[in-house]
Amino acid sequence: MELKSLKIGDLNIKVPIIQGGMGVGISLSGLASAVANEGGVGVISSAGLGLLYKNFSLDYLKASIFGLKEEIRKAREKSNGVIGVNVMVAMSNFADMVKTAIQEKADIIFSGAGLPLNMPSFLTKDSTTKLVPIVSSARAAKLICQKWKSLYDYLPDAIVVEGPKAGGHLGYKENEIEDANFSLEKTIPEVVAVAKEYTEEKEIPVFAAGGIYTGEDMSRIMELGASGVQLGTRFVTTEECDASDAFKQTYIKAEQKDIEIIKSPVGMPGRAIGNGFIDRVKQGVTQPKKCLCHCIKTCDVTKSPYCIVMALYNAFRGNLDLGYAFAGANAYRAKKIETVKEIFGNLKAEFDNYQLRKLSLSGAGI
């Protein structure tokens, strides 16, 4: 097996690596364009852009639209590669962000944190944007394919399967996160089987995400049928990542025991690097309960111990006393700041070395 280019619709992806969309502010035009320049898919997170662009407008929704347009424009200035946008279904401005991404001709929209059952409804006759749902089960993949096909005569251009080792909000119940029945290794072949049901109509490549950190990880999961992978955590500790240096250093300083599952105000479990802020939340220390923008549909300010968008925004800016860093299960493996180019080189070398070791072992009859 080798790392080969593939197609998402009519888009040529030179290296089958998608950079995960990480909000608030972690993956913007800087990181996305750097990944795209290496032949992968660079992804801008649309989460929380209204805060990042509050100088344009104090109206969160207006600032979010302006901010997404600006980030796509900046990414296009820096790269001729494939640029995507991540839009969470759970966001209250989901429709605005999807429409804006399509109008600005983003190459791909990735959408999870809920089932994006109506996403094709936003496409227009001249749309070129590809639509890629993020799922955590074959059941969800099947449902999306059926709904899109019956309602819009459209099938996903690819599917991303995000396993329970991912960072940030997880599409699993807390008791499922460590259950092998919900592992990425079990789910990938099941989703690939769903995609194959539609082969006569459309090739739907399946990408694996969540806990993939090395080229060897890539190789192992692609042997199970994945066409490529999505990585978020590995790209945080890069020069080009849009987060503050303090945020990146949180990853570098973290030990495995520091990475924990937390209860998010949005009603989903999340994986983050533990710190004093999270400890205070656990202790029931009251946090400000003012709702700035009702950014997430499921967030109830009367029951939330803190505002999650502000916590993530503070962390992005480097104020970890008033926020925390979401991170994948392997975040503790980061030891230094690298460039995106170096990471792509390392991933390819790790992938090839694993394949060579397998060949030598099979040749030796082991």
Distance separating alpha carbons of residues 350 and 215, to the nearest angstrom: 4
With vertex at residue 229, the alpha carbon angle to CA 31 and CA 4, rounded to the nearest 5 degrees, is 100
Please tell me which residue, 358 or 258, carries the higher pLDDT value.
258
At 363 the pLDDT is 66
Distance separating alpha carbons of residues 20 and 7, to the nearest angstrom: 18
What does the block give as tokens for 154?
Answer: 């459209």
In this prediction the pTM is 0.95
Task: Give me the DSSP letters along 94-134.
Answer: HHHHHHHHHHTT-SEEEE-SS--TTGGGG--TT---EEEEE
- What's 41-94 look like in SS3? EEEEECCCHHHHCCCCCCCHHHHHHHHHHHHHHHHHHHCCCEEEEECCCCECCH
CB within 8 Å of 333: residues ≥ 6 apart: 213
Provide, rounded to the nearest whole percent, the portion of the chain with pLDDT above 70: 94
C-alpha count within 13 angstroms, C-beta hemisphere, residue 140: 21
- Tokens 């290496």 belong to 38
pLDDT category at 306 given cuts 50, 70, 90 is: confident
Spatial CA neighbour of 313 closest among 105, 1, 52, 40: 52
Quick check: 293 pLDDT over 80? no
At 269 the pLDDT is 92
Please tell me which residue, 169 or 232, carries the higher pLDDT value.
232
Distance separating alpha carbons of residues 293 and 39, to the nearest angstrom: 36
At 300 the pLDDT is 66
